Amino acid sequence: MLRMARAVGALALATLVGLSGCMQVEQGTTLFPDGSGKITMKIAIKKSMLKMIEGFAKQFGGAEADPDKPKDGKALDPFEELTSAESLAKNSEGIAAWKVGKKEEDADWIRLTNVGYFEDVNKVKIYQAQQPQPGAPAGERTLSFAAKLEKTADGYVLTMKDDTRRELQQIPGQGGPGGENPDLNKAVLEMMKPMFQDLKVALSITVPGPIKEAQGFIEKKDRTATIAFDGETMLDVMANPEGEKAKKLKSLAEAKEGRITWTENQISDADIAAFKKDMEDAKESWKKTLEEAKKKSTKE
């Protein structure tokens, strides 16, 4: 999920300490009894972060910050990978339709919400759009999200792989950000506070029935299992790598995948019918969007 957020143009820079607090990422998956469902992705980027990225782009010969004055005919668009129909289709499998939202802005943030509809969660794969993980062969895509739904004698089991847990493995560990020097640690953490104050990350899965067990998640409530943390949590982990919050995030990273079990489906026929109609409308619209993108690509 975090990887999808960072697959937006130059947003690999967001992994740098000092920029990571300028993003908010939410990914929520809703599953229906027949295995169909939707993935809702919400990405918010702080404008101050974009200015930093644009500064790097200018420095290293990238696109200009001003979209009215692009360099080499291409303006910087950090949301390009998530608004391009061709990119979304290329970097996902098993998604019957994408509903691409419009970018919304306020004084400080730019936000985007996309919804991906799927008919069989077992076929869904979302890939990292940019460079592969270290050690991976050049040009090989990195799997960012996949899930498997099984019917058992006791009910249902959903296992899910996502890159949130992989990202958690990169949190600074022993010794804190300043190494073994307590005074340096304190100074560095104070400096980092404003950088992390807006960081929010959330991954949730809503299944068709009350959850019996949820492994690899921070909490479960009724039908939803969630992983969520913010800038305050990150600072606490870096300041106290042996504390409870650090141990909890470490256990999530070591889990490598999430596992949810439930015994019965409790979604009403009316809710299922409403979702099916919503998905069919999205599929029709997505078909037209892909056709238009293909025509535009041919002309270019």
- What is the pTM assigned to this prediction? 0.79
| Span 69-89, pLDDT tens digits | 444 444 556 788 888 999 999
How many domains does the structure of the chain reveal? 1
Average pLDDT over residues 149-164: 91
Share of the chain above pLDDT 90, in %: 42
Q: Contact 126/91 with Cβ under 8 angstroms? A: yes
Positive/negative CA dihedral, 215, 219, 225, 226: negative
Structure tokens at 296: 């535009």
CA distances from residue 239 to 166, 186, 227, 232, 251 in whole angstroms, order as listed:
21, 8, 21, 10, 18
| Span 27-74, pLDDT tens digits | 999 999 999 999 999 999 888 777 766 665 666 555 444 444 444 444
Q: Determine phi and psi for 113, rounding to 5 degrees.
A: -125, 125
| Span 246-267, pLDDT tens digits | 888 788 777 778 999 999 999 9
Other CB atoms within 10 Å distance of the CB of residue 197 = 13
Three-class SS of residue 108? coil
User: Pairing relation of β-strands 219-221 and 224-230?
Assistant: antiparallel
Give pLDDT, residue 69.
46
Among all chains, which residue has been given the structure tokens 């990238």? Answer: 62
Q: Contact 145/1 with Cβ under 8 angstroms? A: yes
Q: What is the DSSP string of 190-214?
A: HHHHHHHTT-EEEEEEE-SS-EEEE
Domain residue limits at 30: 2-299
Helix H or strand E encompassing 43: strand 37-46
Which residue type does 66 have? D
- b or e along 263-284 (b: 16 or more beta carbons within 10 Å of the residue's beta carbon)? eebebeeeebeebeeebeebee
pLDDT surpassing 60 at residue 10: no
Q: Contact 81/147 with Cβ under 8 angstroms? A: no
Which residue type does 190 have? E
CA distance 165 to 199: 17
| Span 111-153, pLDDT tens digits | 999 999 999 999 999 987 554 444 555 556 778 899 999 999 9
* Spacing of C-alpha 271 from chain mean position: 26
Percent helix, strand and coil across the chain, each to the nearest 5: 35, 30, 35
Per DSSP, 11 falls in state G
Integer distance in angstroms from the first to the last C-alpha of the chain? Answer: 32
Identify the residue with better confidence: 89 or 235. Answer: 89
State the pLDDT confidence band at 5, using cuts at 50, 70 and 90. Answer: very low
